[in-house]
């Protein structure tokens, strides 16, 4: 729909866009200066507040995510030599060091700084992020080898999540005869990865559209529980709500809200107005359950029945759920015109400016206590935090803000 802005909202959104573009420059500069490994290739992500490395072990997830983000920035703003070099460094490092060739090309979870394998996990998100990175890089450079890698990894990722035996021999998390089920993260992340592949690889568009539709079906068929007013992270094989133990009652508001904007993108691709309304309902449930009325910010985990969550970090405030809230609330305002989503955008933005942003050194603190103060000593990166969620949010919001403000495409410059 076409959203009509009053002059006050137009001014506020213009100021937000200027701030986000400046923040994107600070974020990108932080990682290019401090994270890129000029000796071994790839990126270090365990960085303290100032950008100093506190662990040389490398996250394979982050190699793929970094390779994707710098390729994405080239796609969005125009190719730059330093961005292409950063993306290629991560792709080359993964190719040389992060694939277990003896186990069906499954990928490791962590490796040493020089690329020796450290840990293999049953989860196959390393393959997902590798596929994203190669597909996006192909879209920018046209290097066919990257497209071939992306297709192989994507198909492996899909097959592993749809019944293929794991060639590593790693079993499920729980003894399947006792407990088995489904995880919300699998169809949610797969929907996002599939969208990237569909855009970069139109030759296989029909396959990607079919699989995207299947991901949406799995989310609503199994994980969305209107009778509880939430999305359950873990359910039984047929979507059963298992409420007798804590894992079955986990609600991750940030995860749900991240999934909202993936669903909104799918709705735009397919013209599905009903899906917009379904996504909006998920956002409403998640923000109501997760927003901390005492200190502000989004709680990490909540219990579907209001009981004590088992995870000790459940009341911390992490950077990425707030990134997802900014994207989803802005997209919902764009797609519905409802003022309450714009207010959630500004409320979240104010919290992030106050608590997460660090103008002195750049990037955002990754982990806050419930009261909004950074954990001590503070860090800007970890095995799970690198150049991904924040620059993705800033660049996606820049684009959506451009649409709302009726400006030209942001291609060519971040600061223009």
pLDDT band at 244, cuts 50/70/90? Answer: very high
pLDDT digits (tens, 9 = 90+) for 148-199: 999 999 999 999 999 999 999 998 889 988 999 999 999 999 999 999 999 9
Distance from the Cα of residue 382 to its chain's centroid: 15
Q: Rounded distance, CA 300 to CA 305, Å?
A: 16
Of 102, 193, 112, 201, the C-alpha closest to 154 is 193
- pLDDT tens-digit readout, 80-102: 999 999 999 999 999 999 999 99
* Residue closest to 385 by CA, chosen among 27, 37, 39, 106: 27
Do 317 and 364 form a contact (C-beta atoms < 8 A)? no
What lies within 8 Å, CB to CB, of 163 at 6+ separation is none
Q: Tens of pLDDT along 249-295?
A: 999 999 999 999 999 999 999 999 999 999 999 999 999 999 999 99
Q: Is the pLDDT of residue 416 over 60?
A: no
Task: Please tell me if the domain spanning 6-175+386-416 has the same topology as the one spanning 183-357.
Answer: yes
Residue 359 DSSP symbol: T
User: Would you mind telling me the total number of residues written for the chain in this entry?
Assistant: 416
Question: According to the CATH classification, is domain 183-357 in 1.10.730.10?
Answer: no
pLDDT-based confidence at residue 407 (cuts at 50, 70, 90): low
Specify the pLDDT at position 171.
87
Task: Return the DSSP state at 203.
Answer: G
Q: What is the pLDDT of residue 410?
A: 43
Share of the chain above pLDDT 90, in %: 94
Q: Using the predicted structure, report yes or no on whether residue 409 has a pLDDT greater than 80.
A: no
pLDDT more than 70, % of the chain: 97
Kindly list the domain boundaries of the chain, sorted by start residue. 6-175+386-416, 183-357
pLDDT at residue 276, rounded to an integer: 98
What pLDDT sits at residue 25? 98
Confidence of residue 411 (pLDDT cuts 50, 70, 90): very low
**CA–CA separation, 222 and 230 (whole Å):** 12
Summarize the confidence of residues 401-413 as an average pLDDT. Answer: 67
pLDDT for the residue 1? 64
What integer is the mean pLDDT of 134-146?
98
Give the strand order in the sheet containing 110-111: 58-59, 110-111, 117-119
Number of Cβ within 10 Å of residue 27's Cβ equals 23
The mean pLDDT of the chain is 96
Q: What is the pLDDT of residues 357-371, one digit of tens each?
A: 999 999 999 999 999
Contact 329, 283 (CB under 8 A): yes
- Confidence band for 408, pLDDT divided at 50, 70 and 90: very low
Place of tokens 């995510």: 65
What's the topology of domain 6-175+386-416? Glycosyltransferase (1.50.10)
């Amino acid at each position: 729909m076409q959203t009509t802005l009053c002059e006050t909202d137009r001014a506020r959104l213009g100021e937000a866009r200027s701030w986000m573009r400046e923040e994107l420059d600070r974020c990108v500069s932080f990682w290019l200066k401090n994270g890129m490994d000029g000796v071994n290739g790839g990126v270090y992500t365990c960085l303290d507040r100032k950008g100093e490395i506190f662990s040389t072990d490398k996250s394979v997830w982050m190699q793929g995510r970094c390779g994707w983000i710098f390729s994405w920035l080239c796609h969005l703003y125009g190719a730059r030599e330093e961005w292409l070099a950063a993306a290629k460094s991560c792709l080359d490092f993964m190719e040389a060091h992060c694939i277990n060739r003896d186990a069906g090309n499954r990928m490791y979870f962590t490796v040493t700084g020089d690329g020796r394998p450290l840990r293999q996990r049953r989860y196959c998100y390393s393959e997902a992020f590798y596929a994203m990175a190669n597909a996006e890089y192909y879209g920018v450079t046209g290097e066919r080898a990257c497209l071939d890698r992306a297709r192989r990894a994507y198909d492996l990722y899909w097959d592993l999540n749809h019944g293929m035996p794991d060639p590593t021999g790693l079993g499920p998390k729980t003894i399947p005869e006792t407990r088995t089920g489904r995880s919300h993260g699998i169809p949610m992340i797969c929907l996002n990865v599939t969208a990237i592949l569909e855009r970069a690889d139109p030759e296989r568009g029909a396959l990607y559209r079919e699989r995207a539709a299947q991901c949406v079906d799995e989310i609503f068929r199994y994980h969305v529980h209107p009778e509880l007013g939430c999305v359950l992270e873990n359910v039984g094989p047929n979507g059963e709500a298992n409420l007798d133990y804590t894992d079955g009652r986990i609600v991750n508001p940030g995860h749900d809200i991240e999934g909202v904007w993936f669903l909104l993108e799918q709705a735009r691709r397919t013209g599905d107005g009903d899906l917009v309304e379904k996504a909006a309902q998920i956002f409403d449930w998640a923000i109501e359950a997760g927003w901390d009325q005492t200190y502000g910010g989004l709680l990490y985990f909540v219990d579907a029945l209001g009981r004590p969550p088992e995870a000790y970090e459940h009341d911390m405030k992490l950077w990425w759920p707030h990134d997802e809230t900014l994207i989803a609330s802005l997209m919902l305002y764009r797609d519905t015109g409802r003022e309450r989503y714009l207010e959630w955008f500004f409320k979240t933005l104010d919290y992030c400016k106050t608590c997460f942003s660090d103008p002195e050194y750049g990037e955002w603190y990754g982990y806050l206590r419930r009261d909004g103060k950074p954990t001590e000593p503070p860090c800007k990166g970890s095995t799970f935090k690198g150049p991904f969620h924040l620059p993705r949010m800033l660049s996606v919001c820049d684009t959506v803000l451009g649409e709302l403000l009726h400006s030209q495409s942001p291609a060519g410059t971040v600061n223009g």
